[in-house]
């Protein structure tokens, strides 16, 4: 008899349970709905210079969190991260290297090889060798010499494209589900760099092979790619050259009669005026190895182009 008394109660319980778990036709029961794919955490990307950080941000978008830890007042090519910063690099998902001997501190740091991406490795055959070892100062970095390979690869827009492609491929390998987005973003960056390349080629044609001076040996890839007739000295924007350096410049101008001197940053006014007396126009072409005070890599490169064009146009006007 007891079992018969429990049957109505059990039936009522099942009916009530069915009412609370079912909804309108075509909808999942409450409490069992699929919330859809969960958003992935951004990939942690560490870079060793600003151009790579810019490329990674352009390509990765919201899928990446890019860190470039070099201080703002140093040339990253002569920067050595401290132990705690190296520990941050070790925790990254990817570590983007410039290559061509740029990261001189790398041989003294222990970084996971599986996370390292040498972005210029695919174009290593185009590295420009250096056969000079002149020791000089370069801001807070102190004394150093240029030897081995020229490392400002990104100043050749075609090499910059190759580096950006290496970043796109590395990101796609780590996060294949976003590969299509990375590809689209890379193609946008590629288009911008190709446009810059075309503009620079036009200005180079206007130079017509005329001699040009570079204040520091960091423009090798730009010089070679554009077919400029350039020679480099070792002058710093914020320093007054010694009389010996002025005399060496006068001697150089006898065999290389340049009308333009290209600087990484604004030279001292006294230096610029003295160069003008020697017939040299100072032109700023910021390599942008570190983050600019305003704008970004793209706007800085376009300004560099404009600076060159204004200089050559003004000179052509004077000649007319």
The span from the CA of 25 to the CA of 28, in Å, is 8
Residue 68: helix, strand or coil by DSSP? coil
Q: Which fold has domain 198-319?
A: Rossmann fold (3.40.50)
What share of the chain has pLDDT > 70, as a percent?
Answer: 82
The span from the CA of 26 to the CA of 19, in Å, is 15
Residue 41 has pLDDT above 90, yes or no: yes
Residue 130 phi, psi (nearest 5): -115, 130
The span from the CA of 5 to the CA of 77, in Å, is 86
The closest of 80, 81, 86, 84 to 142, measured between CA atoms, is: 80
Contact 119, 97 (CB under 8 A): yes
* 20-24, 117-121, 199-203, 205-209: the lowest-pLDDT one: 20-24
Q: Tell me if 43-123+154-188 shares its fold with 198-319.
A: yes
Q: Per the structure block, which two tokens stand in for 118?
A: 């040498």
Mean pLDDT of 32-37: 43
The closest of 76, 114, 109, 118 to 93, measured between CA atoms, is: 114
**Band of the pLDDT at 11, cuts 50, 70, 90?**
very low
Mean pLDDT (the chain) is 87
Rounded to 5°, angle at Cα 271 from 269 and 272: 65
**Class level of CATH domain 43-123+154-188:** alpha beta
* 17-26, 90-99, 135-144, 222-231: the lowest-pLDDT one: 17-26
What are residue 257's DSSP bridge partners? Answer: none
Mean pLDDT of 281-300: 98
Question: Is the backbone of residue 209 left (phi > 0), alpha (psi -120 to 50) or beta?
Answer: left
Mean pLDDT of 35-54: 86
DSSP 78-131: G----HHHHHHHHTSSEEEE--TT--TTGGGS---GGGEEETTGGGGGGPPEE-
Q: Per the structure block, which two tokens stand in for 71?
A: 């201080």
Residue 77 has pLDDT above 90, yes or no: yes
**R_g (Cα) of the chain, nearest Å:** 29
> pLDDT, tens digit, for every residue of 81-116?
999 999 999 999 999 999 999 999 999 999 999 999
Sketch the domain layout of the chain as residue ranges.
43-123+154-188, 198-319
What are residue 262's DSSP bridge partners? Answer: 214, 283
Half-sphere exposure of 149 (CA within 13 A, CB side): 19
Contact 289, 51 (CB under 8 A): yes
Mean pLDDT of 191-201: 98
**Band of the pLDDT at 23, cuts 50, 70, 90?**
very low
DSSP 219-274: -HHHHHHHT-EEEE----TTSPPPHHHHHHHHHHHHHS--SEEEESSPPPHHHHHH
The span from the CA of 285 to the CA of 110, in Å, is 35
Please give the pLDDT value at position 33. Answer: 46
Mean pLDDT of 21-47: 61
> pLDDT, tens digit, for every residue of 106-157?
999 999 999 999 999 999 999 999 965 444 444 444 444 556 999 999 999 9
> pLDDT, tens digit, for every residue of 237-269?
999 999 999 999 999 999 999 999 999 999 999
**Band of the pLDDT at 319, cuts 50, 70, 90?**
low
Half-sphere exposure of 15 (CA within 13 A, CB side): 6
């Amino acid at each position: 008899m007891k079992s018969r008394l429990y049957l109505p109660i059990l039936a009522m319980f099942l009916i009530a349970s069915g009412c609370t778990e079912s909804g309108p036709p075509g909808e999942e029961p409450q409490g069992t709905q699929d919330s859809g794919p969960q958003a992935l955490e951004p990939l942690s990307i560490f870079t060793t210079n600003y151009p790579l950080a810019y490329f990674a941000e352009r390509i990765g978008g919201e899928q990446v969190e890019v860190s470039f830890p070099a201080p703002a007042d140093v040339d990253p090519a002569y920067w050595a991260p401290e132990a705690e910063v190296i520990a941050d690099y070790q925790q990254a998902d990817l570590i983007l290297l410039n290559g061509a001997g740029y990261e001189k501190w790398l041989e003294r740091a222990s970084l996971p090889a599986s996370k390292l991406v040498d972005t210029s490795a695919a174009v290593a055959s185009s590295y420009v060798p250096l056969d000079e070892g002149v020791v000089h100062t370069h801001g807070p970095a102190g004394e150093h010499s240029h030897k081995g390979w020229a490392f400002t690869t990104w100043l050749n827009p075609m090499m910059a494209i190759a580096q950006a492609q290496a970043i796109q491929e590395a990101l796609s390998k780590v996060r294949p589900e976003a590969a299509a987005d990375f590809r689209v973003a890379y193609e946008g960056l590629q288009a911008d760099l190709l446009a810059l390349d075309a503009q620079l080629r036009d200005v180079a044609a206007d130079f017509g092979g005329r001699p040009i001076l570079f204040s520091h040996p960091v423009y090798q890839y730009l010089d070679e790619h554009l077919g400029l007739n350039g020679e480099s000295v070792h002058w710093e924007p914020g320093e007054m050259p010694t009389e010996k350096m002025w005399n060496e410049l006068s001697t150089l101008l006898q065999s290389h009669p340049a009308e333009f001197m290209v600087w990484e940053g604004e030279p001292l006014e006294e230096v610029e005026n003295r160069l003008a007396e020697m017939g040299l126009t100072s032109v700023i072409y910021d390599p942008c190895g570190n983050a600019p005070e305003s704008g970004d890599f793209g706007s800085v490169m376009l300004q560099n182009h404009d600076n060159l064009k204004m200089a050559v146009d003004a000179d052509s006007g004077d000649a007319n």
